[in-house]
């Protein structure tokens, strides 16, 4: 058993520096999850409903009108779109590391507006837009940074950090909201809002420990800086000079043979396929119901007749967070395609099952059996999502873009996700009020679509360097042949160099082979 652990890529390639930058850089994902979670919970807080809502004679209590729920939730997605628009400019001009400072400034400004919105609901909405613009920037920068700093063999585990911390943020928000539910003063929801400051404060505290992305430095021609960063991050520093030479040669080859620098280039040639893949996984993640679960689970449970919907929300988000832990292993072990396919099957079954169960009644007259069965299936849905589409869409989207267009590919992918979430967040309150539990049939139907889409369109990218994926896409390798395709170019040599854990035992033979290959295949200098 001990020998198997020592031979595991996580044991061999991970070190404390990689772990630190993975955790710190993923704080933006936690902020995303926390803001989604606190909003979903705040919609069910009595003080929040009294302050910003109106008295509902039918319910016999204060409640937030559907139009305010719709606008408040939907404008958050609009803020994310704004953040996605500025992301390619910020990440390419300032670099990945400085983007975390911009992110922190936006989030601190937005949280301040939210916390000071004593009576104005619309000030709260503006604050959410600004916070979510920082989150939109994070949704581009964090996966990109993780993919560019992690060794290829553990990239799936590293990218799973984004979804893990997103889930952790949702869970923590649900706990904080639940603990605040019995308060009857203004601090009931202010405590929840102020907790969001943990993210920008965390970035500012650990900023000095974050290196710039080594691949970003290579793309900018700063090779000496890139080598220093790779030496800090690698468990095999003796191989770094050869890796830098291979990365340099690959960048020059791409610029000479596959020049691309604009958004329009994302839709040309083989880049079109990569853009479709990145956007589709993000769109299908939203279409399968994650916005519904994260933003409207509390109101849905109240509609089902649960006496303590906030406690049920803690259980739902807690189970999902716990399941996320296994994604540090699954995506690099069983692969991307299987994780997404199996996830869609399970998510389709649980959403459709909820719709069938609630078809026996009408809101708010569901029986306790129906309510309990629905809650159980939604908990199971969130667990399945946690080890499949939750991290999966970010893993795939961050991997498939070529180095020259990675910022723009992730921008388009994120835009696809959040443009999809906007109509869901605006329309769902009305549809949910009208259809009750039958609203889950819509999301279950999209999971069926996702099963088919993954089978025909999503390639297997595990255990491949980012440069190797460049070669495969440019060679137009068929979707189901990715797993077994043998690469022979620069990407293959980078993968071989990253995975050769016995380099010291093989002496200089391997190093001499790599240097000779680079010299022989180096593109002619202009």
**pLDDT, averaged in runs of 10, over the chain (526 residues):** 69 84 89 76 72 72 74 76 88 92 91 77 85 88 88 81 84 77 58 76 91 90 91 84 83 71 85 93 91 76 74 79 79 87 94 84 69 83 87 87 84 85 76 76 93 94 84 89 82 67 43 48 46
DSSP for 113-150, please give it: HHHT-SS-HHHHHHHHHHHHHHHHHHHHHHHHHHHHHS
Closest CA to 65 of 74, 55, 75: 55
SS3 61: strand
Distance CA 174, CA 70 (A): 20
Structural domain boundaries of the chain?
A: 24-211+267-472, 473-521
Q: Please say whether the dihedral angle defined by the alpha carbons of residues 88, 92, 95 and 98, taken in this order, is positive or negative.
A: negative
90, two tokens: 């910020």
Q: What's the confidence (pLDDT) of residue 511?
A: 45
Contact criterion met (CB below 8 Å) for 297 and 313: yes
Q: Topology of domain 24-211+267-472, per CATH?
A: Growth Hormone; Chain: A; (1.20.1250)
Q: What's the confidence (pLDDT) of residue 136?
A: 87
Q: What's the confidence (pLDDT) of residue 516?
A: 47
Contact criterion met (CB below 8 Å) for 191 and 181: no
Distance CA 414, CA 260 (A): 20
Kindly state the helix (H) or strand (E) to which residue 54 belongs, with its residue range.
strand 54-56
Distance CA 14, CA 234 (A): 8
Determine phi and psi for 364, rounding to 5 degrees.
-100, 40
Q: What's the confidence (pLDDT) of residue 507?
A: 42
Closest CA to 52 of 112, 114, 125, 120: 120
**Taking every pair of C-alpha atoms in the chain, what is the biggest distance, in angstroms?**
82
Closest CA to 153 of 3, 323, 329: 329
Q: What's the confidence (pLDDT) of residue 514?
A: 45
Q: Is 329 left (phi over 0), alpha (psi -120 to 50) or beta?
A: alpha
All residues at 6 or more sequence positions from 138 whose CB lies less than 8 Å from its CB, including other chains: 28, 29, 31, 32, 83, 103
Q: Is 477 left (phi over 0), alpha (psi -120 to 50) or beta?
A: beta
- Partnered with residue 55 across adjacent β-strands are 62
Distance CA 123, CA 39 (A): 15
Bond from prior residue into 81 cis (ω within 30 degrees of 0): no
Q: What's the confidence (pLDDT) of residue 41?
A: 67
């Amino acid at each position: 058993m001990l020998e198997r652990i020592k031979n595991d890529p996580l044991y061999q390639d991970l070190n404390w520096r990689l772990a630190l930058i993975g955790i710190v850089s993923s704080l933006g994902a936690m902020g995303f999850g926390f803001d989604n979670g606190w909003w979903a919970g705040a919609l069910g807080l009595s003080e929040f409903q009294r302050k910003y809502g109106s008295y509902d004679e039918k319910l016999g209590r204060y409640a937030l009108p559907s139009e305010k729920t719709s606008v408040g939730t939907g404008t958050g997605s609009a803020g994310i779109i704004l953040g996605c628009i500025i992301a390619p400019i910020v990440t390419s001009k300032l670099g990945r590391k400085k983007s975390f400072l911009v992110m922190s400034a936006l989030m601190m400004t937005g949280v301040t507006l939210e916390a000071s919105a004593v009576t104005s609901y619309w000030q709260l909405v503006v604050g959410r837009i600004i916070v979510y613009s920082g989150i939109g920037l994070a949704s581009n920068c964090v996966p990109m940074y993780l993919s560019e700093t992690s060794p290829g063999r553990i990239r799936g585990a590293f990218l799973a950090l984004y979804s893990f911390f997103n889930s952790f943020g949702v869970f923590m928000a649900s706990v904080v909201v639940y603990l605040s539910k019995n308060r009857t003063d203004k601090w009931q929801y202010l405590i929840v809002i102020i907790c969001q400051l943990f993210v920008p404060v965390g970035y500012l505290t650990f900023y000095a420990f974050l290196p710039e992305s080594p691949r970003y430095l290579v793309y900018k021609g700063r090779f000496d800086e890139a080598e220093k960063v790779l030496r800090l991050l690698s468990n095999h520093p003796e191989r770094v000079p050869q890796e830098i030479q291979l990365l340099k040669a690959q960048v020059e080859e791409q610029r000479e043979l596959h020049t691309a620098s604009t958004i329009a280039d994302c839709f040309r040639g083989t880049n079109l396929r990569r853009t479709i893949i990145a956007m589709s996984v993000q769109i299908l993640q939203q279409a399968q119901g994650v916005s519904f679960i994260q933003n409207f689970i509390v109101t849905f449970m109240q509609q089902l007749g649960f006496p303590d919907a906030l406690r049920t929300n803690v259980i739902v988000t807690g189970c999902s967070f716990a399941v996320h832990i296994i994604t540090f292993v699954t995506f690099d072990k069983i692969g991307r395609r299987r994780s997404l396919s199996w996830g869609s099957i399970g998510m389709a079954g649980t959403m459709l099952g909820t719709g069938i169960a609630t078809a026996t009644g009408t809101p708010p007259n569901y029986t306790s059996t129906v309510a309990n069965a629905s809650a159980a299936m939604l908990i199971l849905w969130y667990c399945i999502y946690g080890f499949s589409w939750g991290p999966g869409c970010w893993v795939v989207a961050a991997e498939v873009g070529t180095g020259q267009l990675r910022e723009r590919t992730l921008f388009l992918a994120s835009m696809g996700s959040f443009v999809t979430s906007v109509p869901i967040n605006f329309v769902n309150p009305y549809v949910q009020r009208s259809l009750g539990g039958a609203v889950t049939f819509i999301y279950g139907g999209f999971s069926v679509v996702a099963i088919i889409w993954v089978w025909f369109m999503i390639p297997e990218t595990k255990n491949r360097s980012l440069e190797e994926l460049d070669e495969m896409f440019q060679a137009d390798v068929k979707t189901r042949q990715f797993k077994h395709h043998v690469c022979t170019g620069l990407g293959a040599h980078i993968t071989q160099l990253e995975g050769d854990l016995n380099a010291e035992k093989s002496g200089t033979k391997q190093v001499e082979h790599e240097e000779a290959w680079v010299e022989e295949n180096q593109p002619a200098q202009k």
